[in-house]
């Protein structure tokens, strides 16, 4: 290892990890995150509904979604370097504590008569910032928790966890909102449920006894943070296929960032559906994502990553085009199912490739560099999506998405990612 490094990770001496099915530490993380992801999915529906009920503005709601995603653009690069320096488990615990307090402040402020739009914007920004650190720590810790041959399967289960939450969250959110006399009060109850889910995540993390990183040897003169960030960026940019995957993912995330708001606008303004039916539509996405997470390792072992990326982009283009042309309820449900079915497959392809290629000591920085580029496009997509929904409506926005996904397919072919 380079002696100029300020904090070096000694090579892992083959600490044997049990098979995934018997890996208690992995399942503790997985179960705690399943609960907190379920809570997040509850507030994913509650957040735009609360903002729409308070302001009746799709544009302001789009900006609120953008504020939640803005920390990816602002903090991903330094967060990755810090995750490689700090204790990852401790970081994850404190991030969940911050999210518990931030989300819990919303119903408390409403009960006291002090809830404002500024408060909501600050809460989602703080929650998004904590999520950036937490998610980077979690994914960077994964190679230390599971055996190398289980990485793809473990990340697939993480993806399944996310879509279990998406499957159940909107239905639970609709049920909770329906318990109250107004949408505002119901949405605040949903926020409270999300807040409590982070406490469960904290408890699951505290039960884990292994380290989330390999042993470090501290040098007297640690390297500057900017140098560590640059090292992750250099590694990412030096790997051609990884660099192209980051650019492709930036475009995909830009296109999909306003998709939940687009479905809400289509359901409420176009189809005039109830909150419960909206929860059913979003729940169909959870079913699709759950199935996609189960299929992802099987597909990755049988088809090349490049062919899968090209196929996914093409299907997304056709699906969003149909949603733009035919706003029919069964097709809307099927469209949400298909879009969500393919995203975990896409994620498993890209993330597994990145985890397998990146050295352990660089995991946090390379993951953050990738996410800074690929997720940094989300705030712009969400803000622009909100204004386009206000100006042109949901069907036009789905049409714009279709054109964008055609561009993704062309990018895969032009860049030769289809040969990966």
Confidence of residue 248 (pLDDT cuts 50, 70, 90): very high
Total count of domains within the chain: 1
Q: Which residue has the higher pLDDT, 215 or 280?
A: 280
Q: Given a cut of 50, is residue 125 above it in pLDDT?
A: yes
Q: Given a cut of 90, is residue 411 above it in pLDDT?
A: yes
- Report whether 313 contacts 76 (CB < 8 A): no
Q: Given a cut of 50, is residue 111 above it in pLDDT?
A: yes
302: number of Cβ within 10 Å: 8
Cα gap 299→239, rounded to integer Å: 24
Judge whether 2 lies within some domain.
Answer: no
* Range of the structural domain that residue 50 is part of: 22-209+222-419
Judge whether 415 lies within some domain.
Answer: yes
Judge whether 14 lies within some domain.
Answer: no
Token pair, residue 326, equals 């035919």
Q: Given a cut of 90, is residue 194 above it in pLDDT?
A: no
Judge whether 216 lies within some domain.
Answer: no
Judge whether 244 lies within some domain.
Answer: yes
Tens of pLDDT, residues 204-246: 888 887 777 665 544 445 567 788 788 888 888 888 889 999 9
- b/e code 377-408 from CB counts within 10 Å (16+ = b): bbbbbbbbbbebbeeebbbebbbbbbebbbeb
Confidence of residue 11 (pLDDT cuts 50, 70, 90): very low
Confidence of residue 149 (pLDDT cuts 50, 70, 90): confident
Whole-number pLDDT of residue 97: 93
Lowest mean pLDDT among 79-93, 207-221, 264-278, 345-359: 207-221
The string of DSSP codes covering 104-135 is HHHHHHHHHT---HHHHHHHHHHHHHHHHHHH
What is the residue-averaged pLDDT of the chain? Answer: 83
Q: Which residue has the higher pLDDT, 402 or 195?
A: 402
Whole-number pLDDT of residue 18: 64
Q: State pTM to two decimals.
A: 0.71
Averaged pLDDT for residues 253-257: 93
Whole-number pLDDT of residue 7: 34
Judge whether 122 lies within some domain.
Answer: yes
Judge whether 350 lies within some domain.
Answer: yes
Tens of pLDDT, residues 352-369: 888 888 887 787 788 778
Residue 402 belongs to domain with CATH number: 1.20.1250.20
Whole-number pLDDT of residue 305: 85
Judge whether 107 lies within some domain.
Answer: yes
Q: How far is CA 121 from CA 70, 211, 218, in A?
A: 11, 35, 39
């Amino acid at each position: 290892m380079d002696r100029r490094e300020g904090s070096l990770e000694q090579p892992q001496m083959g600490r044997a990890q049990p098979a995934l099915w018997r890996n208690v530490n992995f399942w503790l993380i997985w179960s705690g995150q399943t609960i907190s992801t379920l809570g997040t999915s509850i507030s994913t529906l509650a957040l735009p509904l609360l903002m729409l009920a308070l302001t009746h503005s799709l544009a302001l709601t789009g900006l609120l979604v953008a504020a939640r995603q803005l920390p990816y653009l602002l903090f991903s690069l330094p967060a990755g370097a810090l995750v490689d320096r700090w204790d990852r488990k401790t970081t994850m615990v404190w991030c969940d504590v911050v999210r518990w307090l931030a989300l819990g402040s919303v119903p408390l402020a409403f009960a006291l008569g002090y809830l404002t739009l500024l408060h909501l914007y600050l809460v989602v920004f703080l929650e998004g910032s904590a999520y950036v650190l937490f998610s980077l720590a979690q994914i960077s810790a994964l190679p230390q928790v599971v055996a190398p041959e289980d990485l793809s399967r473990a990340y697939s289960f993480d993806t399944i966890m996310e879509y279990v939450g998406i499957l159940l969250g909107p239905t639970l959110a609709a049920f909770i909102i329906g318990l109250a006399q107004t949408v505002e009060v119901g949405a605040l109850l949903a926020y409270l449920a999300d807040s409590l889910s982070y406490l469960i995540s904290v408890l699951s993390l505290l039960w884990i006894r292994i380290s989330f990183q390999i042993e470090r040897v501290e040098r007297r003169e640690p390297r500057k943070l900017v140098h560590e960030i640059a090292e992750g960026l250099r590694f990412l940019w030096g790997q051609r296929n990884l660099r192209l995957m980051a650019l492709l993912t930036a475009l995909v995330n830009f296109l999909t960032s306003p998709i939940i708001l687009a479905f809400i606008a289509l359901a409420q303004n176009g189809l005039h559906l109830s909150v419960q039916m909206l929860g059913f539509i979003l729940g169909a996405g959870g079913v699709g994502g759950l199935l996609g997470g189960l299929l992802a390792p099987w597909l990755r072992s049988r088809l090349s990553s490049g062919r899968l990326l090209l196929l996914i982009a093409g299907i997304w283009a056709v699906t969003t085009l149909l949603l733009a042309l035919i706003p029919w309820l069964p097709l809307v449900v099927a469209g949400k199912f298909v879009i969500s079915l393919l995203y975990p497959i896409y994620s498993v392809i890209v993330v597994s490739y990145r985890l397998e290629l990146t050295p352990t000591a660089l995991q946090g920085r390379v993951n953050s560099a990738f996410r800074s580029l690929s997720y940094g496009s989300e705030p712009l997509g969400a803000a622009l999506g909100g204004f386009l929904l206000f100006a042109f409506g949901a069907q036009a926005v789905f049409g714009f998405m279709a054109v964008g996904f055609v561009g993704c397919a062309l990018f895969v072919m032009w860049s030769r990612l289809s040969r990966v």
